Chains A and B, each alone.
Chain A
Amino acid sequence: MAYSDKVLDHYTNPRNVGTMDKNAGEVGTGLVGAPECGDVMKLQIRVNPETKIIEDAKFKTFGCGSAIASSSLATEWVKGKTVEEALAIKNTDIVKELSLPPVKIHCSVLAEDAIRAAISDWKKKQA
Chain B
Amino acid sequence: MSEQNAGLKTAPMQLQVIQERQLSQHQCWSCGDMRAEHFCAACGHMQPAEPTDFFSFFGLPRKLEVDEAALEKEFYQLSRKLHPDLYSRASAREQHWSLEKTSQLNDAFRTLKDPITRTEYLLNLEGIQLEEQSKVATEQARAFGVEKKQTVPAELLEEAFELNMMLEEAKAGGVDDDLRAQLVATRDSLTARLGRMQDELRAAWKKWDNGNRAAIDEMVDVLNRRSYLSNLVRDLQEVLS
Contact = CB atoms under 8 A, between A and B. Distances in A.
A binds B: yes
Contacts of B131: 36, 105-106
Given A31-B157, A40-B157, A62-B161, A113 B141 contact: yes
Interface residues of B, dominant DSSP:
helix
A2 interface: no
Given A116-B148, A117-B148, A109 B135 contact: yes
A60 B147 CA distance: 19
B75 interface: no
B164 A62 contact: yes
Interface residues of A, number: 25
A17 to B, nearest CB: 11
Given A40-B161, A116-B148, A35 B135 contact: no
A60 B165 CA distance: 9
B27 interface: no
B160 A40 contact: yes
Interface of B: 130-131, 134-135, 138, 141-142, 145-148, 150-152, 154, 156-158, 160-161, 164-165, 168, 223-225, 227-228, 230-232
Interface of A: 30-38, 40, 42, 60, 62, 87, 90-91, 105-106, 109, 112-113, 116-117, 119-120
